[in-house]
Chain A
Amino acid sequence: MSARRKLSHRLTMTALAWIVGLLIFFPILWTVLTSFKSELDAFAIPPKFLFFNWTLENYGVVQERSNYIGAATNSILLSIGANLVGLVIAVPAAWSMAFAPTVAIDRRETRVMYAFMAAGIALTILIAWLTSFPLFTSWWGYALLAIIVGLPVISWILTRRTTDVLMWMLSTKMMPGVGVLVPIYLLYRDYHLIDTRLGVGFLLMMVNLPIIIWMLYTYFKEIPVDILEAARMDGASLLNEIIHVLTPMATPGIASTMLLSVILSWNEAFWTLRLTTTHAAPLTFLIAEYSSPEGLFWAKLSAASTLAIAPIIILGWFSQKQLVRGLTFGAVK
């Protein structure tokens, strides 16, 4: 009796899982199917599901009209390159947050420090004014200003608690990108970074850095600090400790972090669409070319989309175990 109920229960669950899976997968399936249709069939109502004239024509047109290889190369270079550089920054950052966090600051001491610094700034400006020192008119005046204003600002940043820094980094992800579009665009224009792989790659890295650091941080938190201390007692330098002990132990975590952030970079469309045209244009840009400006060519758009998502779907397919572990890490223990 219980075995039978179990069987029916399992059948229901399987069926439900398939239905949910198909629902989620359907847009991708439909895109792939549409890419093999003629433009006429793509519009047909009622929609044709499997029985239409299968054709590879759209793929040919996409190849002719746009530079798929170029865009795919850019996508690969940008997403992998940006994240490798990001990793080099994120591993030490996450190390310090996980193993050497700033927990509490002595409020009184810092207040005294700020008072001294503020007095220093005021005094410098006063003396400069009295002695008609060219504080605001010469480059060394600016340099002096930068030092007396910059030092307190930097020391303020460096004495923040680690939890505050983490929250601040997370908060940058809550800000819509469009909020900084104009300043970034102007900076990129002035420094000739628009439509360069360097410029776009740097931006993608910065966009993903908070996520990479957060994920690595949660992974690193799981590593017993004793083992790192043992490495220190064994005479390992900080660099050796990170390379020979921390990184090998965190390899699964680093791998799934990389995978997730590569996917995020691959799909990033806001900045890539606005900062690239040809040289650094990735696949997202290629798809966008097939939308509204040239009329609605569903089949060709679908073919371009299929080409764009295929590499990342294959990558995800082979690493789904890692990916799921990465996404649920820390949530279930």
Chain B
Amino acid sequence: MTSIRQNSSSPSSSRLPNFRNLGVWLRILLSANGLAALVTLAGNRQWLALSGELALASASVEPPLIASLLLLHAVQRLLERLPYRAGAALVLGIALSCTAGMQVVGIAPEAFGTSSGNLVRALLWTGLCTLALLIYFDIRARLQSPALAEARLMALTARIRPHFLFNALNAVLGVIRTDPQRAEAALEELSDLFRVLMRDSRELVRLSDEIALARQYLDLERLRLGERLQVKWDVAACPPDALLPPLMLQPLLENAVYHGIEPAERPGEITIGLARRGDQLLIEIANPLEPGRLPHAGNQMALDNIRERLMLFYDLEARLETEVDDGEADNPGRYVTRIVLPYRRGTTS
């Protein structure tokens, strides 16, 4: 089982950030440099000298900062076992000793003055900066406590377009007299789909399950759209045991059908590409774009929903982007949605 935050078990790690997470590194680097820039700006007396001072500040902040992050990365497992206070103290200790070490060795340029007090000044700055970041991560962790995150996930996944449900039911009613078996199959698919929609959605699911669900959904849509809906899967380069948050594909396909197939006069093709590249999983869904019709606001709701869920599951390590490929005269453009998320393997059980 993979819970949405790997660090939700012990009290310490739920409040300290995971120093092996790229997003955490990014936040720390940006805020430390931001704070240094602010301090420099406040201390600046000559406008023309500012750019030089900023460069110097950045050069003196970077070496101890990176050294601390590397050390923290190394002791992450230990940090997870410590109680919060001890963990926070260890983080502070590492930051301070890295700063002191750099100053003694003389790697860091002396942005904080050349007098004998510069070591104290640098330590004071490092200490305050570390405390500020610890408080920030603590507040952030509280805001995203598992209970809150779960509640938000529940609210986020329980959505499906009523348009789809009523049209699907209408299609089943339309074929029930002429083709009872097809109607039967469609109702089975519909109930499978809704079982997943109403399921607890806090846990990652296997990609193969997600693909099966998407196929069922598309099969339902084919009942009412017939030949107008063409689908091309490209899943050869994709490990079926990869894990991803539930209901990533289906809402995107629903969007693709609603905006790319339903308004089109001629049959259109939806392409679904899934691939693993290194430690990333790539999902790409494309649908034809009606000439003269731009993807409109209705599209945005499903995308925002998926973005928010990716954020809850992976923080900054996953992203979703969309793109319009302009077409030529007889080749309509395509609307492409891409998701990149960290590749995680499921257990084979």
A binds B: no
Task: List the interface of chain B (C-beta within 8 A of A).
Answer: none
